[in-house]
């Protein structure tokens, strides 16, 4: 299906943009558990993006980290995407304070070419 994702993987993405200082580690641990048990890569991505954006997992760089997670999943599955649509997806998720994994999946999927 897809490779397991670790805390180290997500911290490394955040460290590309910020300090990697997780302030809501419990939410990230839960999201990683759910992501690694997810039925699809898209669902796994949605769990992680939800945690990072809605639960503000990191001290800084949450939006950029969420974008990095999405790009990482798209790259891993060799999917073409529009970077501006990823930015739009993040904005939509935040503005609507979206917590539904199914809805987040649909928003993320819209960035695929």
- pLDDT for the residue 1: 52
Asked if residue 60 has pLDDT above 90, the reply is yes
pTM summary value: 0.96
CA separation for the pair 97, 6 (Å, rounded): 25
Per-residue confidence band for 107, with pLDDT thresholds at 50, 70 and 90 = very high
Average pLDDT over residues 43-72: 98
- pLDDT for the residue 3: 81
Tell me the H-state helices in 55-112: 62-76, 83-95, 101-109
Domains of the chain: residue spans and CATH: 7-109 (1.20.120.1870)
């Amino acid at each position: 299906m897809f490779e397991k994702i670790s805390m180290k993987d997500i911290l490394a993405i955040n460290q590309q943009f910020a300090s990697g200082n997780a302030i809501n580690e419990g939410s990230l641990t839960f999201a990683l558990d759910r992501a690694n048990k997810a039925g699809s890569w898209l669902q796994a991505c949605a769990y992680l993006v939800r945690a990072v954006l809605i639960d503000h997992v990191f001290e800084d760089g949450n939006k950029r980290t969420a974008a990095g997670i999405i790009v990482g999943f798209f790259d891993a599955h060799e999917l073409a995407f529009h970077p501006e649509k990823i930015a739009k997806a993040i904005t939509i998720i935040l503005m609507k304070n979206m917590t539904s994994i199914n809805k987040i999946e649909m928003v993320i999927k819209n960035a695929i070419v």
